[in-house]
Amino acid sequence: MLDTVSAMKLVIAGKGGSGKTSISGTMARLLGRDGYGVLAIDADSNPNLALTLGVPAEEMGKVPTLPRDLLRRTPEGTELAKTIEEICKSHSLPAPDNVTLLVMAHPQHAGTG
């Protein structure tokens, strides 16, 4: 099926401790190893996807937090003020296996779970 689509968006949400981060990280890395470009976005308020993606611990704190003015209100709704490419250029972190990580929030101490 993947051969017939140019882009696939997958959202994983659910109960805490149910395996969301483990499944997300594993899927991202497997797709990346198969040659797909993967943008993994960690929207958890306690983000730790970086760990599962294999980003070294010392790299994790280096990604700048996404600024609030990235979102713009229009009469039709909310939209991004920049393109996803521009956002990734300034705010993403390269991870192993062809995966790029974008972290939406940065608490001081992210744990697992």
Ligand X SMILES: Nc1ncnc2c1ncn2[C@@H]1O[C@H](COP(=O)(O)OP(=O)(O)O)[C@@H](O)[C@H]1O
| Chain residues that interact with Mg ion, rule: CB under 5 A | 20-21
Binding residues for ligand X restricted to 11-50, rule: CB under 6 A: 16-22
Q: Which does 77 bind (CB under 5 to 8 A by kind): Mg ion, ligand X, none?
A: none
Strands 38-42 and 99-103, bridge-based pairing: parallel
Q: What is the DSSP-derived secondary structure letter of residue 66?
A: P
Shortest approach of Mg ion to residue 18 CB, angstroms? Answer: 9
Q: Which is nearer to ligand X, 20 or 82 (CB)?
A: 20
Place of tokens 């979102």: 71
C-alpha 42, offset from chain centre: 4
Q: Are 48 and 110 in contact (CB under 8 A)?
A: yes
Name beta bridge partners: 46.
none
Place of tokens 């209100």: 73
Shortest approach of ligand X to residue 81 CB, angstroms? Answer: 29
Looking at the chain, how many residues does it have?
113
61 binds ligand X (CB under 6 A): no
Shortest approach of Mg ion to residue 69 CB, angstroms? Answer: 27
Q: Which is nearer to ligand X, 48 or 82 (CB)?
A: 48
